[in-house]
Structure 1
Amino acid sequence: YHAPSQTLSPSLSPHTLPSHSSSSIVVVIIISPLHLLPQTLPALIRPYTWLPENSLHSTLRSRRATTMSAASSRLGNLVPVHSAAAENVSGGTNGSASNINAAAATTATEDEEALGGKYQLPPPEIRDIVDAPPLPALSFSPHRDKILFLKRRALPPLSDLAKPEEKLAGMRIDGKCNARSRMSFYTGIGIHQLMPDGTLGPEKEIRGFPEGSKINFVTWSVDGRHLAFSIRGDDEDGSSSKLSVWVANVESGQARPLFQSADIYVNAVFDNFVWVDNSTLLVSTIPTSRRDPPKKPLVPSGPKIQSNELKNVVQVRTFQDLLKDEYDADLFDYYATSQLVLVSLDDGTVKEIGPPAVYTSMDPSPDQKYILISSIHRPYSFIVEVWTTEGKFVRELCDLPLAEDIPIASNSVRKGMRSINWRADKPSMLYWAETQDGGDAKVEVSPRDIVYTQPAEPLEGEQPEILHKLDLRYGGISWCDDSLALVYESWYKTRRTRTWVISPGSKDASPRILFDRSSEDVYSDPGSPMLRRTPAGTYIIAKIKKENDEGTYLLLNGNGATPEGNIPFLDLFDINTGSKERVWESDKEKYYEHVVALMSDYNEGDLYLDRLKILTSKESKTENTQYYIQSWPDKKASQITNFPHPYPQLASLQKEMIRYQRKDGVQLTATLYLPPGYDPSKDGPLPCLVWSYPGEFKSKDAAGQKQQLRKLFDVGKIAVGGHSYGAFMTANLLAHAPHLFCCGVARSGAYNRTLTPFGFQNEDRTLWEATTTYVEMSPFMSANKIKKPILLIHGEEDNNPGTLTMQSDRFFNALKGHGALCRLVILPYESHGYAARESIMHVLWETDRWLQKYCIPNTSSVDPEHDAAKEEASKEVTNSPSQPVAASGGGGGPEMAHIDLEVSYSPQRSFL
C-alpha cells in the first residue's frame, strides 16, 4: 500500500501489537516510501501474533482483503486467480474476502486447458490442414528455358520468433545475422529444364552448400547462366548466423561461396546484392572494421526530449519502433552501415567502392555503366547519387530532409524529387516526379505533378526535361520505346484513374488519354499491358504484330469482372484505334485461369501473335493450381506442374458466391463455404461464421457492380469475426447490431480511435476535425453495449500503425468493467500477422472452442436475452426487402431466412 502523503497510523504500529499467542500467525509485509521507514518501523523486525478476537486483527484483515481484491482484479487480466483470501479464523467472513472466494470458485470450474496459459492444439482435422506442406515457389530463367523450384518449409516454430531483435527506425533487426528479423527462407533449390513439348525434365538440385542452410534472395544473372543467393545457419545458441553470398552454375548445379575470404558477410538490413553484369555482383557487406555494438548506458546522460519550437505542423500516424534517443540512433547506424563491394565471379577479386554508409538501395543502369545509389545520413536526410560501376562519384541528384511533415490526407506525398528510376528502354536515362502542390493533397493546383527526365551524365548546363504534366497524383510509367509509353495517375478521394499515351522521343506528339475511369468500376477495367524482358534484364511493354498488318498492338491482361464472377482475359488492343480482339479467355464453367507471364519474350525483335507463348495458371474448386504453357496459333496447352491437392479433405468443399442488398441500396457479395455433401433440405440450417474486412466505396453503383449477398442462415447461430480492421468491424457490430450475432472473434484490432488521432485506415481527417466520427466509430466507447461473447486475440509485439497491443488490453478491461462475457489472448512474440506454428494452432484452438461454446450450441444458454433477440432478428429480416425463402425440414427447426447484415447499424462514412 502506497500513501505518499501519509505515515502509517499509530494503531498499526508494530509496538501496539498484542503479546505472543499460539492461536494464529500472520506475516505482515509493509510496503512504504523509503523516507517513512525510519519513523514508522522499529530497528528490530520480528514476527508478531494476535488473538482472533482482537480488533486490530479484523481491521488488518479487512484492509488486506480490499487490497487483495484490487490486486487480483489487475492480475486477473493476465492469469486466473486460483487462491482466495485468508479465512476468518473466528468462522466469519469479510465481504471482500467472500468476493475473492467466489471468484476463485468460479475460476476453478473453468477448463484447465482454457485457463492454463499453455499452447493448445485444435482438433486433428484442423491441424492436418495447417501442417500441410507448402508448394514451392517458381522462378523462370531469363531465356524461359529453365524453372527453379524454391522449396519451402511449413510454419516456423515459436523459437524462431523468440530470437532477440532490435526495434529501430520502424524496422526489426536480427543483430546476429545483420538482417531483418523473422525472414522466411527456402530450404532447397531444384532446377528443371523446360522441354520443347512443354514438359519438365528431371530435377537437378543445387548442391555444395551446408545442409540445413536457410536460403534467401535467389536471383538469376542476366544471361541465366548463374544463380546468386544468400545462406545462413543457426549457431550453437540457436541464433542465426550471418549471411554469406553463394553462386551456383546453373548447368552443373554446383554452388560455391562468392567470397574467398570467410569473414565477409552481407548486410541485409536494406539492400543486399545485385548483378551489375553477367560476371559481377555489387554486394552490401558488413564493414570488416566494425567492432562490437554500442552499449546502452546504465545511467542516461540526460532526459529524452522532443521539441517543436519552430511550430512545424507534423501530423504522424502511430508508427512503431521509432528511434527514441541517441543510443537508438547509434545502434541503428551500427547495424545499417554497410560497405559496398564489387566482386568478380571470374577471379574472385573484391573491390570496395565508396565509403561505409547507410546505403538503402543500389540499382545498375540498363547499360551497366552507372549505379543509382540511395543512402541516408543524420539527421536522416535521404540522398540519391549517381556512380559509375567502377565506384566513381558522378553527381548528387537530391539531398532531401526527413519527411515527417507529409500531410495525412490521402495522396499527400513528400516534397522534392521522388520515384527516381532508370528508363527501362534506354541505356542510362533517369526519370522522376516532383509535386507542385507542396505534397499537400488538399491544395488545389494544376498541374499537381510533373515528370522529368535527364541523362545520367548531362551535358554542362543541360537541364531536366519535362516529360509530362499531371493533374492527379503520379502513379508510374510503363515504358516501351521513344514512340510509346503509358503514364498513370489517380486520385483516391474521387477514385478517378487515368492512363495517358505519350511519345517520349517526340516533342511534337501530343499526349492523349487512353483510359479515364473509376477504380471502383471493375467491370470497365481494360486490364494491364503485358511486359517483355529486354536483353538488359529490364521489362518494357510488349508490342505485338500481326502478319500483313501495320497496326501497333498491346496485350491487355485483365481480371474480367462480371456479375457471375471474374473471367480473366487477354485482349489484343490497337493502341491507335482503341479496338480490341479477345485472343484468350478463362474457362467459364469448371476452371479459373489467368495469364501469368509471356514466355516468348526472350528473343530480340518483334513479337508476333501467331508465335505467342504464355504461361497460365489453372485451378478449380477441387483441383490445385497447376501451370500451363499455351502456344499460338492453335493455343495448345502443355501442363508443366502436377502439384497434389494441399488439403484433400477439403476437395469436395462447397463454395459459391452469395449476394445481398444492404438496406441503403448498396449491393454486396461474399463467398459461402459449406461442408462437403451438405444438403440444406436434409441437413437443415447450419451455424454461420461471417468473416470480413471492411471495404470503402464512393458510390453505390460501383459497389453494386462487384458485391452482393443473399443466402440462408440459422438466424440464432451467426458469429462474426475479422482481423485488424475486421476486428474493429466485429466489435462495432456486436455493439450496434447485437441481435444479429451470437458471438464474435476479433483479432489484432484497434478499438479506441482517439489513440490514433491523425487518421486511420482511409480516414484522412484528424480527431480534432472529426471528433464525433472518431468517438462514435470507437467500439471502446460502446463497451457497455456489448453483451454477446467476444474473443479478443492480439500479438504481443504488434508493430502495425494503429493496432498497438494495448488496444485489445484496454478494450478487454472496459468490457470486463461492464460485465461482458469476454476473453483476451495475447500471443508472445507475434506481430500483426501471426507466424509461429504454436501461435496459429492456438488461435485456431481458441476460435474453435469459442464457436463450439457460444455459437454451435443453443445460444440462449449464453445470454438470457438471446431468445428475444432472435425473435427480433427474425422480424427484422422478415420485414426487410429480402424475404424468407426456406425453412428447415418439417418446420420444427430454427428459422432460415435472408439476413440484411446492416438492418440496424448504419456506420459512419469511413466505416463502409
Structure 2
Amino acid sequence: MYRLLTKSILALTLFGAYLGSNFAQTTYQTPPKAIADLVNAPSTPSVVFSKNGNWMMLIERAGNPSIEDLSQPELRIAGLRINPATSGPSRTGSVENLKIKMTKGGEEVQIKGLPTNSKMNGFSLSRDDNYVAFTQTEANGISLWVIDIATFEARKLTENILNEIVGGSFAWTPDNQILIKAVNPVRGEIPKAPLAPAGPIIQETSGNAAPSRTYQDLLTNPHDEALFAYFMSSQLMMVNLDGTKKPIGPVGMIKSMDLSPDGSHLIVETVKKPFSYLVPANRFPYDVEIWTKAGQKVKTLAQIPLDENRPTGFDATVAGPRNINWRADQPATLYWVEAQDGGDPKVEIAEREIIYTLKAPFTGVKQKLASTPYRFGGIAWSDDNFAILSESWSKTRMDRKSVINPSNAGQSPKVIIDRSSDDIYNDPGNPVYTVNKFGQRVLLRKGDLVYMTSEGGSPDGSMPYLSAFDTKNKTENILWRSQAPYYERVVKVLDEDASEFITLKESTDLQPNYWLINTKKRIAPLQVTNFAHPYESIKGIKKQLVTYKRKDGLSLSAVVYTPAGYDATKDGTLPVLMWAYPREYKSAEIAAQVRGSKYAFTRLSWGSPIYWVTRGYAIMDQTEMPIVGEGEEEPNDYFIEQLVANAEAAIDQIVGMGIGDRMRIGVGGHSYGAFMTANLLSHTNLFAAGIARSGAYNRTLTPFGFQYEQRTYWEAPEVYFNMSPFSYAHKVETPILLIHGEADNNSGTFPIQSERYYNALKGHGVTARLVFLPHESHGYAAKESILHTLWEMDTWLEKFVKNKNQLDSKK
C-alpha cells in the first residue's frame, strides 16, 4: 500500500482524574446551544463581479465538512496534501450554489443545471464576460463546467480529468477556448509500495550551508518520489465550448501554465529531478519554457535548480530568474527578476535586483527594465509609458513604490511611496484596476493620477477611503470616505473617473451588504444586496474600541464586547476572556497605532472568542501585544518583558472600566497567540486559566528562524531559550488547555510541540489538558472538531475562570 495517512489517533485523551466526571468521555461533544447555534448559522454569500460591474455572482459556500469527509484517504508527500481519488488537493472548501445579481436593476437569477452534490471551486470569467468556468470535485476526479451568462445555465464540459495537484488547472483564451491541465491520460496504475525497501535512505551534504525551515509532509523514500511523479504527470489540452478537446504539447510534470495576453504563447513550468527530502515541491528544480498556443516549444527561458541552499533571513531568495510573468499591457512580452546578491540579504550591494524583459518571438537578448536596491515586490502595469514598481525589505519593514517608464529603461524610477509596511496611518492604499483590450488587469489612471483604495487607518480606527493619488506631487485627493457609524469600503470601481462604484457597507449590528454609489450624479446610494443578519442572538451585544497605555507610555488598543443589556454600574464585574496575537515592530510610534474599526460587523469564525459573550463573559478581542525593537535593536530581545507589560495594561484597562473581575480573567490564542499564552502563564500569575491552540512551545525545534525572528538558534541561543515556554514549564501555576490538530503541517507548529510541552507540564504537576483533533491541520475544518473545540474551551473557562471563586473555596 502506498503511504496514505488515514490513521486516527485518540482525539480526546483524558489526563488526570482531577477534571471530574464532566470530562470522562472520548466522543465528540457539542458546546452549549447558544454557542452551537452561532456556529451553525448560515454563511453569507461571497461575490465575484463581472469585469464591467454590470452583474455579480453570489457564491453560496457549503458548511463545514464532516469528520467523515476529512477522514478520506490522503496522501502527504512533497509538502502537499493530495486526494489520490481526485488528483486534487485533499483540504479545500467548496461552493454549493450560484446566483447572478444585477448591480443596477437588482434582479436575481438562480443558475440552472448546476452539478448535483455540488463541490464547486475556481470560478473564472471569460475575457468577454459571457461565460464563467468552474471546477466540480466528484468522488473520482475533477471536471470542468461552464455557465452561459446569456441563458444562466451551467453545463459540464469535460469528464473528471483535471489535475489540481499544484497550481491552477484551467485558463481562458481570448477566443473563448479553455486551456486545461489534465491528468496524463496514459499514466497507468498508481505505483505500489515495495514489500521490502531496496536499500537504506541516505542524505548527504557537500559542506554548503543549507538552512531549512521545519517543513512537514516531505518525501521520505523512493516510493514517495514515484507517487509524486505519478500525480504530477499532466497533459495540457485545449477545450472548446462544445466540449471537444485536443492535447497541447508533451506530457510532463507540469507545475503551471500561463497564457500571454494575446493568447499566442504559453509560459509552462515543468518540475524535474532530482527531488528533495529537505524542502517541499515548490523548491524542486524546474524548467521554464515558452510554447506556442499549439504546444510547440519556442524557447527554454530558464532552468531553475533545486532550492535547498537558500541563505538565511526572510529577505533571502533564489539566485536565478524568478517571478516570470507576462506584461499585462503588451501582447506577449515577458518580464522577470534576477537577484544580483546571490539571494543573500547580508551581501551589501547597491543594485540588488534587476528586472528584465523579452518580447515575442523571444529570439532577442533580454533587456534591462529597471533595478531595485531592495527585494522586488511586483509591477502594476498601465501602458508603455507608466507602471508602478514595488520593492520591500522585511528586516526593516520598508515598503516602497516607484513610477517607472517601461519604454525608457534609462529613466530613473521616481519614488512615490516610501513607508513602513506596519504604518497604517500613512498608507495611501492599493491601486484600483481596470481591464484593458487584452482582458488583463491594469492601473485605472488619468495621466499622473492613479486611483487608490485605502483602509484609512487613524487614531479613531479604520475609516476606508477612495482617492486620486497624484504621482507627480505625491499627494492624494480623497474622493469618498466611509462615515461613522459605518465601516464601508470600495470593492468595485465602475467608471474611468472613479465617480461610480460599489461599496461593502456594515456596522456593528448591520450585516455587510453591497451598495451602488455615484458621487457625480449625487443621487442616494442604492442598496444592491439584502443579506440577512446571521446572528440574531447577539444583535444586542455592546462593542467598543478602547485605547489605553502600557507602563512605558506605549498606546495600546483592544475591542471589548459585553453581553446584551449589561450595565457595569448595576450588574457588577464579569469574567473575561482575553484573546490576542503578538506582533513585532521596529518603531514604538507605529506600534501604538490603533488597528481595526469599532464600526465593523461582529463576524464570527470558528476560532472566534466572541461566542462567550453569550455565556456571560466580557471579551477582550484583538488585544494589542506589540513587541518593539527600535533601530538596530531586535524586538525579541525584549519579548518577555514587553509581553507581560502588555498583559498588565490590558487587565488594568478592563478592570478599570468596571467590567472585568481581576481574579477571573482567562487568556488565549491560536498559533503564535498560543505561544503567547504559554509564555504569559510561564512568567506571570495574572490569569485564572489559559487556552493555547495549535502553538509552538520549544523554539529550538524551529532553529532557523520563526515569525519575524531572522536570527538562527546558533546566533541567538539565549533568545530561543528565553522565548520558549518549554524552558519554563516548571514555573507554570495556571491551568492550561492545549488543543492541536494532529495533522498540523504549518511550519513550526507540528503536533509534537504540544505533545512535548504537555509532558513537561505534567512532569511538574501543572494542571493541564491536551486535546488532539484527528485529521485536522493548523486551522480546524470538520464541524465535529469545531464544536468539540468550543466545548473544550467552554468547559475549561466555566471551571477555571467563571467559577474560579468556588474552585478556590474548595482548596
- TM (norm. structure 2) is 0.88
Provide the residue aligned with 1:691 in structure 2: 579
Determine whether 1:531 maps to 2:433. yes
Does the residue aligned with 1:565 lie in a helix, a strand or coil? coil
SS in 2 for 1:384: strand
1:337 aligns with 2:233: yes
Partner of 1:318: 214
Q: Percent identity?
A: 41
Cross-structure match for 1:157: 66
Q: Note the aligned Cα RMSD (angstroms).
A: 2.0
Q: Which amino acid aligns with 1:552?
A: D
Aligned-partner residue type, residue 574 of structure 2: L
1:878 corresponding residue in structure 2: none
Q: Aligned match of 2:489 in 586, 594, 597? A: 594
- Provide the residue aligned with 1:760 in structure 2: 706
Q: How does 1:112-191 map to 2 (within 5 A)?
A: 113-191=22-100
* Structure 1 letter corresponding to 2:233: T
* Alignment correspondent of 1:816: 762
Match of 2:377 in 1: 475
* Deviation at residue 431 of structure 1 after TM alignment: 0.8
- Indicate the residue corresponding to 2:20 in structure 1: 110
Q: Distance in 1 between matches of 2:10 and 2:734?
A: 21
Against the structure 1 CA distance between its residues 76 and 736, is the aligned structure 2 distance closer, same or farther, given a 3 Å change threshold?
Answer: farther
The answer to whether the 8 A contact 2:12-2:27 is kept is no
* 1:721 pairs with 2:668: yes
Deviating 4+ runs (over 6 angstroms): 75-78
C-alpha offsets along residues 735-781 of structure 1, whole Å, 9 cap, x if unaligned? 1012x111000001111111111111111111111111111111111
- The amino acid of 1:505's aligned partner reads S
Determine the structure 2 residue equivalent to 1:566.
462
Is residue 2:324 matched to residue 1:420? yes
1:79–1:115 Cα contact (<8 Å) kept: no
Question: What is residue 617 of structure 1 aligned with on the other side?
Answer: 504
Post-superposition shift, 1:142?
2.4
One-letter code of the match for 1:124?
A: K
Give the superposition deviation at 1:820: 0.5
Who is 2:153 aligned against? 254
**Shift in CA distance, 688/571, structure 1 to aligned 2, threshold 3 Å:** same
Q: Is 1:858–2:796 an aligned residue pair?
A: no
Q: CA deviation at 1:482?
A: 1.7
Q: Is the partner of 2:530 in helix, strand or coil?
A: coil
Q: Find the aligned partners of 1:222 and 1:484 in 2 and give their Cα distance.
A: 24
Structure of larger gyration radius: 1
SS of corresponding position for 1:451: strand
Contact 2:66-2:784 at 8 Å conserved across structures: yes
TM-superposed CA distance for 1:538, in Å, is: 1.0
Give, in whole Å, the separation in 2 of the partners of 1:78 and 1:136: 34
- Measure how far apart 1:608 and its partner are: 3.4
Letter of the structure 2 residue corresponding to residue 802 of structure 1: G
Which among 207, 210, 221 is matched to residue 126 of structure 2? 221
Indicate which of 383, 387, 400 corresponds to 1:485.
387
Q: CA deviation at 1:372?
A: 1.1
Cα deviation for residue 635 of structure 1 reads 4.3
Looking at structure 1, the residues matched to 233 and 222 of structure 2 have their Cα atoms a distance apart, in angstroms, of 16
1:512 aligns with 414
- The answer for the alignment partner of 2:450 in structure 1 is 554
Indicate which of 253, 258, 266 corresponds to 1:358: 253
For residues 330 and 23 of structure 2, the distance between their equivalents in structure 1, rounded to whole angstroms, comes to 63
Match of 1:244 among 143, 147, 153: 143
**Take 1:769 and 1:785, find their aligned partners in 2: how far apart are those partners?**
26
Select the residue among 582, 585, 591 that pairs with 2:478.
Answer: 582
Whichever residue aligns with residue 342 of structure 1, its letter is M
Q: Distance in 2 between matches of 1:251 and 1:441?
A: 53
1:628 pairs, out of 506, 515, 532, with: 515
Distance 2:36 2:553 in 1: 41
| One of 179, 198, 202 as aligned partner of 1:305 | 202
CA–CA distance in 2 between the matches of 1:341 and 1:356?
10
Contact 1:363 1:373 in 2 (8 A): yes
* More off after superposition, 423-432 vs 276-285: 276-285
Residue 374 (structure 1) aligned with residue 283 (structure 2): no
Q: Secondary structure at 1:128's aligned position in 2?
A: helix
8 Å contact from structure 2 (residues 171, 178) kept in 1? yes
Task: Tell whether the 8 Å contact from 2:368 to 2:409 is kept in structure 1 after alignment.
Answer: no
- SS of 1:522 mapped into structure 2: coil
| Alignment partners' CA distance in 1, 2:769 and 2:351 | 53
Q: Which residue of 1 aligns with 2:544?
A: 656
Aligned to 2:178: 281
State the partner residue of 1:68: none
d(CA) in 1 for partners of 2:677 and 2:336? 42
Partner SS state of residue 642, structure 1: coil
**2:727 is paired with a residue of what secondary structure?**
helix
Give the CA deviation at 1:578. Answer: 2.8
Q: Which residue of 2 aligns with 1:901?
A: none
Give 1:229 shift.
1.6
Q: Partner amino acid for 1:748? A: S
Q: Across the two proteins, how many residue pairs are aligned to each other?
A: 734
The one-letter code matched in structure 2 to 1:641 is T
| Cα offset, 1:571, TM superposition | 1.5
2:365 corresponding residue in structure 1: 463
Q: Deviations over 1:174-217 (max 9, x none)?
A: 000110102211112212333xxx2421313231x442231121
Aligned to 2:608: none
- Counterpart-to-counterpart distance in 1, 2:254 and 2:163: 13
Please list the CA deviations of residues 794-848 of structure 1 after superposition, one character each: whole Å capped at 9, or x if unmatched.
0011111111111111111111111101111110110110000000000000000
AA matched with 1:806: I
- Quick check: 794-803 or 223-232, which moved more? 223-232
Of structures 1 and 2, the one with the larger relative CO (CA 8 A, separation 6+) is: 2
Residue 556 (structure 2) aligned to one of 665, 668, 672:
668
Q: CA deviation at 1:531?
A: 1.0
Give the Å deviation of 1:858: 3.3
Which residue pairs with 1:608 in the alignment?
497
Aligned to 2:642: none
Which of residues 546, 565, 570 in structure 2 aligns to 1:677? 565
Q: Following superposition of structure 1 onto structure 2, how do residues 15-54 of structure 1 map, counting pairs within 5 Å?
A: none
> Larger deviation: 758-767 or 571-580?
571-580
Could you tell me which of 384, 390, 396 is aligned with 2:300? 396
- 1:731 maps onto 2:678 in alignment: yes
CA contact 1:742–1:859 (8 Å) conserved in 2 = no
List alignment gaps of at least 5 residues for structure 1: 1-74, 82-102, 234-239, 545-550, 601-606, 866-912
Select which of 711, 726, 737 maps to 2:654: 711
Secondary structure of the structure 2 residue equivalent to 1:321? coil
1:803 and 2:749 matched: yes
Contact 2:179 2:237 in 1 (8 A): yes
Identify the range of structure 1 (481-490 vs 708-717) with the bigger mean alpha-carbon deviation. Answer: 708-717
* Residue type at the aligned position of 2:171: V
User: What TM-score do the two structures reach when normalised by structure 1?
Assistant: 0.78
Match of 1:502 in 2: 404
